[in-house]
Amino acid sequence: MSPTRERTLLPTDEPLSLLDKDGSPVAGSPLVMPDDDVLLELHRRMVVGRRFDTQATALTRQGRLAVYPSSRGQEACEVGSVLALRPADWLFPTYRDTVALVTRGVDPAEALTLLQGDWHSGYDPCAHRVGPQCTPLATNTLHAVGFAHAARLKGEDTSVLVLLGDGATSEGDTHEALNFAGVWRAPVVFLVQNNGYAISVPMSKQNAAPSLAHKGIGYGVPSVLVDGNDVAAVYAVVREALESGGPTLIEARTYRIEAHTNADDATRYRTPDEVAAWLDRDPVDRIEAYLTSRGLLDAARRSAVAAEAEEFAARVRAELNADRPRDPAALFEHVYATPTAQLREQAAALAEELA
């Protein structure tokens, strides 16, 4: 067993990390540093993800998106965890995890379908092995456990990663999911992105345990506390958890730089000093500093990655600025496999109304 799993169920007092806030390697870390090519890929995806996030935020201001919950500042969690997945694994994301979706390969316009005010899941979950983004908190944790248990029953080598936030750890479903996962030894990884606030409610009003990772102990689920702004560390713990064959609860300490959504005023519940302190621990800067010091990231690669990010953002802009026709008849599709007589009547009535 590897060093982190040799520990008991208890998480460490301090978050595990591989790189400090300035990008210097942490001495004596029990985590395994990812290979150089993985680190470069983590960096590239974080830069693209951040540019995508700022583009989506801008599109909200322009009225192209109904709402957008930014994950700026949480790129290490979004990208580090998703790149740790193997192709056969599944991801169960929340509404804030659009950067995780595009990192998994979901087309950005399809990933933003819900947030445009269009149909809920614009992407094919089966094609990408990504469940629909969940808006009610914590409900996806149970879907993930059920999916993982089914994989086990079917003899498939599939692990499941479910993303949730700090607020979701207060929901009953999280506790039922951890309990089921513990009892069934389901191959599922719960990654809590603890960004400090559930909309406006701070951690101090959310949780009385020493950490959110401590919540795994009572369910017999091994638990890990990790620095959520250290992408190398997030990748390492998620990869190890996915390969463990059983459940793991990971709390990643991070911070949401933007407000909860564009509709929220974060200045009402947090100070500029607090935000500035977290900006100083930026996850992208950190990996860049490390890769630069190692000679892996030079000016040429840096500008190539930046250009790719711009190109990505331009494509998102173009796709979302195009008005797409919508068919009212689609209202009645996919309610049941075969429409009921009632739905056929209503579809005919609407068609007549529109004729």
Q: Would you call 149 a catalytic residue per the annotation?
A: no
CB 165 within 8 A of CB 191: no
Which residue in 88, 150, 306, 318 binds another protein (CB under 8 A)? Answer: 150
C-alpha atoms less than 13 angstroms from C-alpha of 113 in its C-beta half-sphere: 16
154 binds another protein (CB under 8 A): yes
The answer to whether 256 is a known catalytic residue is: yes
Q: For the CB of residue 135, give the shortest distance to another protein in the complex, in Å.
A: 8
| Catalytic site residue from 269, 301, 302, 315 | 269
Taking the complex as a whole, how short is the minimal distance between the CB of residue 76 and another protein, in angstroms? 27
CA angle 174, 256, 209 (to 5 degrees): 40
Quote the CA–CA distance of 58 and 64 in Å, as a whole number.
9
Length, in residues, of the chain? 355
Residue of 23, 34, 131, 187 interacting with another protein (CB under 8 A): 131
Among 28, 120, 208, 299, binds another protein (CB under 8 A): 120
What is the crossing angle of helices 231-243 and 283-293, to 10°? 100
Of 6, 8, 87, 126, the one binding another protein (CB under 8 A) is: 126
Quote the least distance from Cβ 167 to another protein, whole Å.
16
CA 268 to each of CA 21, 136, 296: distance values in angstroms, whole numbers, following the listed order: 27, 24, 42
Determine the Cα–Cα distance for residues 174 and 53; give it in Å rounded to an integer.
Answer: 27
Of 1, 299, 300, 337, the residue at the interface with another protein (CB under 8 A) is 337
Does 148 bind another protein (CB under 8 A)? Our answer is yes
Q: Which residue has the tokens 């790149």?
A: 83
Cβ pair 174, 182 in contact under 8 A: no
Three-class SS state of 69: coil
Q: Toward another protein, which CB reaches closer, 180 or 278?
A: 180
Shortest distance in whole angstroms from residue 178 CB to another protein: 10
Question: In this structure, what token pair is assigned to residue 323?
Answer: 């008005």
Q: Per rule CB under 8 A, is residue 144 in the interface with another protein? A: yes
Judged by CB under 8 A, which of 97, 166, 173, 258 binds another protein? 173
The yes or no reply on residue 176 touching another protein (CB under 8 A) is: yes
List 256, 281, 286, 290, catalytic entry: 256
Determine if 268 is a binding residue for another protein (CB under 8 A).
no
User: In this structure, what token pair is assigned to residue 146?
Assistant: 């059920």
In the complex with another protein, which residue's Cβ is closer, 124 or 280? Answer: 124
Contact residue for another protein among 183, 279, 304, 307 (CB under 8 A): 183
Q: CB–CB of 180/141 below 8 Å?
A: no
- Is 197 catalytic? The answer is no
- Distance from C-alpha of 42 to C-alpha of 293, rounded to nearest angstrom: 16
The site for another protein (CB under 8 A) is made up of 119-121, 124-126, 131-132, 136, 139, 141-151, 153-154, 158, 172-173, 176-177, 179-180, 183, 333-337, 340-342
